[in-house]
Structure 1
């Protein structure tokens, strides 16, 4: 029988990758302003889960191959898993990778999900959480950071003082331009920084050093280029790590399979395209995904090979919900939006192609939102590593600020976690305008939202440090 002291030091870990792919096609796909449909599967969608137990406290971290996950799906999955495992729901994280080629789980622009498929998803995610818990075994843990600046570029560029462009609200004063095109003469320099960090948290079997799971974090929006359904570079990275760690060796047969996981960092204004370059090479389907996955895996392995493993760690978790304001049109703006929709014809597919009409539709949809919405935040302590989570497409400046201010040795932030509340620009980036600030169901939180969220997360991290 373990003493209470030893029990608190007995680290266990388990992992599981649960397939949540749709089985009926065509199926709606998020990622564009027009609704699209997938006709089959290029590579499947998974809920990739890792459970960690320090002898007293257990946490389960899950990353789902999806563009975004509404909060109700996350809450339902956690409720099912909590009843089965005894792990509190507020010790579970469920985030989306942000692949733009997965079956839709929530509405975005003119893409609405297949609700019959969505109804099956909470139980399937929960199964992944439960099996990760059931796979707990004596383990060792380590974390580290690599760097890959070659795959991240700030996609927002500053518009030159003498230049302008018109946004969907007929405004020409935006000073930031998202994805302006290669060497656009109207823009000068990127409007923000990048974060090249590749953070990894790893667990391995204490008995045979078998890799159990690697949870990585990189601030890259997505890559694209695969036909839907596809888990994008996130799954390709997981496969790379399995191969490099020799996790499928014959000597491990009969043991739980290794689970590679890539979480989305603070990539709301970051993508994989260098608009300063005059040439963008043409790639075959999936080619760029593999290039990025290999590059990021190189950085991850650099960190992995130098990590110090420990049979113990200290786990703690904090969760809170902020009520934040929703940016809506005033009465005149709403009336104008309705008029625009009435005056603008749809395409043959029954959808609007005109951006002004698309955003007018968003204005009408947002009018039905409450004045304030819940925004769920979490913070985790894993020894000297801290992790923050938030349900937004988070601008990189916010993640860099949290890394500087954490009271722990190192930190990373997981975006698109435990719900979806759209883009999260800083107030300074709101002033510059641009796509990520344009009012829509994908960008609707109050201008000061990032300031309030960052302040709350810093307080949560400070509280964890004291535990």
Structure 2
């Protein structure tokens, strides 16, 4: 038997706290409520729980203990739990990002407790379901923000769960795009276009919970984005276009076999790139100081982030606390003919597309921003030609190695092989 239940939680802060996704400072109100969604599946007596949270990133220091607690509530393993960020750039901070906000621990703890209460609630609301799955293309909605004319993933996938009466009880929609249509807009909290997308799909589906999952969107933006273009109208237009593709996906949908449930995780420790010399770090600080003149232009923010990174790096070197390794985890969840491959970072779209190719399943979804945050997962080509464009200075001290792309594919292949003959 397959049973399921899904709910949404309002996790909007009740006071001004740091926005995360840009140099915005404290929030100045609420444009649209921030939400967390919980999808609970029971497949032949085995549980799988997936949580999404409206924020830019979720650190493993927050997701790991929460996953363990959820697993304990369900008497299952950690690999049967998954926690993803929707990657909105207008949410509350859950991890510190240089010049991009710091978390309010009271808020993050409260969200964690709410999610645990939600999981308890869902156990009493499980009902028999069957699944339908379909995909369609959202042509022209996204662009490659690193390489003009470069690859994008325009696929919109929809999983709808129906009860024994044929009524939908929950929907999952997957799309690959940076939620930046409201980047810095009025300094107010918002899920960005995923929120308007969820609302639009709820309106045509009887008000059921709509669970949004973002893909390998590290280098994918909505078409037409610039910091000056952000507006509610722009956000709703992107949502409308994705919704149109989602509705076509629903029309294209076919019954989906959701059994068996098989889960696995692969971990590998990566040796990070070495730091620059101490002399170079001091020169970076001096150069940053020469560019900081008290204004808050994008260029000044960039130099402020660079200076903060350099000072943090220098302190870590001087105290002997500089970590030169990073643990990378990839999770695979097989729900019958549907496979989910989850990464704890900001993966480039090329990596997501290749992981889909590696997967032998009829349907594969890439879940970025999941189970922690290790940074941008770039292609080797991009790193060799451009470095990481100093993006790592926002959330880490050392850059990921150029071999990261190859390591991700190798880990994916191992996961596929491990799960090839497994059943529950």
TM-score computed with the length of structure 1 as normaliser: 0.81
Deviations 1:353-401 (Å, cap 9, x if unpaired)?
2533421322333463511122222001111121100011110101111
The SS at the match of 1:76 is helix
CA 1:435–1:288: 2 relative to 1, 3 Å: farther
CA 1:420–1:436: 2 relative to 1, 3 Å: farther
> Displacement, 1:344?
5.7
Q: Does 1:124 align with 2:114?
A: yes
The correspondence for 1:362, drawn from 301, 305, 309, is 309
The farther-off stretch of 416-425 and 45-54 is 45-54
> Displacement, 1:121?
2.6
Counterpart for residue 6 of structure 1: none
The SS at the match of 1:321 is strand
The SS at the match of 1:267 is coil
- Specify every segment of 5 or more residues in structure 2 that has no aligned partner in the other structure, as ranges: 317-321
The farther-off stretch of 392-401 and 74-83 is 74-83
Q: Does 1:270 align with 2:220?
A: yes
> Displacement, 1:425?
0.6
* Cα distance in 1 between the residues matched to 2:311 and 2:304: 11
> Displacement, 1:296?
1.0
* Cα distance in 2 between the residues matched to 1:316 and 1:462: 12
Deviations 1:106-143 (Å, cap 9, x if unpaired)?
11121222233223232223333333343211111122
- Number of equivalenced pairs: 409
* Cα distance in 2 between the residues matched to 1:24 and 1:118: 13
* Cα distance in 2 between the residues matched to 1:116 and 1:352: 32
Counterpart for residue 15 of structure 1: 6
Question: Which residues in structure 2 correspond to 1:150-169 (within 5 Å)?
Answer: 150-157=140-147
> Displacement, 1:436?
4.9
Q: Does 1:261 align with 2:211?
A: yes
Counterpart for residue 196 of structure 1: 154
Q: Does 1:353 align with 2:342?
A: no
* Cα distance in 1 between the residues matched to 2:404 and 2:230: 40
The correspondence for 2:346, drawn from 369, 393, 418, is 393
The structure number with the bigger radius of gyration is 1
Counterpart for residue 175 of structure 2: 218
Counterpart for residue 319 of structure 2: none
- Specify every segment of 5 or more residues in structure 1 that has no aligned partner in the other structure, as ranges: 1-9, 158-188, 249-257
CA 1:11–1:39: 2 relative to 1, 3 Å: same
* Cα distance in 1 between the residues matched to 2:349 and 2:8: 28
* Cα distance in 1 between the residues matched to 2:369 and 2:171: 19
The correspondence for 2:137, drawn from 147, 165, 189, is 147
Q: CA RMSD in A?
A: 2.6
Counterpart for residue 161 of structure 1: none
Report if aligned partners of 1:99, 1:224 keep a CA contact under 8 Å in 2.
no
* Cα distance in 1 between the residues matched to 2:142 and 2:25: 27
* Cα distance in 2 between the residues matched to 1:13 and 1:386: 17
CA 1:398–1:115: 2 relative to 1, 3 Å: same
CA 1:310–1:419: 2 relative to 1, 3 Å: closer
* Cα distance in 2 between the residues matched to 1:308 and 1:319: 29
Report if aligned partners of 1:199, 1:300 keep a CA contact under 8 Å in 2.
yes
The SS at the match of 2:294 is coil
> Displacement, 1:442?
4.0
Counterpart for residue 380 of structure 1: 333
